[in-house]
Amino acid sequence: MRISFRLAVASFICLAATMLAATAASAAPKTWVNTATLKCLDSNAGGDVYALGCNGGPYQSWVSSGLNFGDQIQDAQTGRCLDSNGAKRVYTGPCNGGSYQQWQVTDRGQFGYEIRDVATGFCLDSNGSGQVYTHGCNGGNYQRWR
């Protein structure tokens, strides 16, 4: 009985440590690079979101954390969250946990991740000019992020 209790406690500690490590890993800042343009998702303190050449700057670092229906993607520098609306505009705003600030991030293989807004169903998209917006998901590389 004493051995099985110790085994249960040890198992619980290992499970807790694994969960803590997984949470810490998901909270690590990430730079999102558009597969088609090779530009990085960027923003500023005013809430504008755009794609620029990757520069390793703090405005290009994003932290994801899981919410009820998707991930909240937060700019590490500003603390503001990636947000969008039905007009397909993308911006950052104060984090509120709302569905427009929740994104389903799905690995689509070698070309990267699809980032889909939970509220609108539209995918994060970009173009060669560095504009960032949402658009109907089409599987194209302008909607893939690595």
DSSP assigned state of 12:
H
Task: Identify the domain containing residue 80 by its residue range.
Answer: 31-143
Asked if 20 and 86 sit in the same domain, the reply is no
Asked if 52 and 100 sit in the same domain, the reply is yes
Strand partners, 79: none
Contact of 51 with 41, CB cutoff 8 Å: yes
How confident is the model over 29-63, as pLDDT tens digits? 999 999 999 999 999 999 999 999 999 999 999 99
Asked if 114 and 44 sit in the same domain, the reply is yes
Q: How confident is the model at residue 9 (pLDDT cuts 50, 70, 90)?
A: very low
User: Is residue 92 predicted with pLDDT exceeding 90?
Assistant: yes
Asked if 67 and 99 sit in the same domain, the reply is yes
Q: How confident is the model at residue 26 (pLDDT cuts 50, 70, 90)?
A: low
Asked if 13 and 49 sit in the same domain, the reply is no
Give me the DSSP letters along 27-76. TS-B--BBTTT-EEEEE-TTSBEEEEE----GGG-EEEEE-SSSEEEEET
Supply the CATH number for residue 129's domain: 2.80.10.50
State the chain's mean pLDDT as an integer: 87
Residue 84 has what pLDDT? 98
pTM of the model: 0.82
